[in-house]
Amino acid sequence: MMTAICFAEINPPQAGGVFPEIELLKSSNPVDLTYLGLSGSGIFKIQQVKADVVIIEIFSMYCPYCQGEAPNINNLYSLIENNPALKNKIKIIGIGINNSLFETDIFKNKYKIAFPLVPDEDFKLHKIIGEVRTPYFIVVKLKGGKTEVIYSKLGALGDNKAFLEKIIKSAGLK
Q: Which helix (H) or strand (E) segment is 143 a member of? A: strand 136-143
In the complex with another protein, the residue whose CB is nearer, 127 or 161, is 127
Instruction: Give the bridge partners for 93, in sequence order.
Output: 56
Least Å distance, CB 67 to another protein, is 6
Q: Which of 17, 71, 155, 158 binds another protein (CB under 8 A)?
A: 155
Binding string, residues 101-140; x marks residues near another protein by CB under 8 A? -xx--xx--x------------x--xx---x-xxx-----
**Whole-number minimum distance, CB 62 to another protein, in Å?**
4
User: What are the backbone dihedrals phi and psi of residue 76, each rounded to the nearest 5 degrees, phi first?
Assistant: -60, -45
Q: What is the DSSP string of 58-125?
A: EE-TT-HHHHHHHHHHHHHHHHHHT-TTTTTTEEEEEEEET--HHHHHHHHHHTT--S-EEEETTSHH
Report, in Å, the least distance between residue 111 CB and another protein: 8
Residues near another protein (CB under 8 A) are: 1-2, 5-6, 9, 58, 60-68, 97-98, 100, 102-103, 106-107, 110, 123, 126-127, 131, 133-135, 154-155
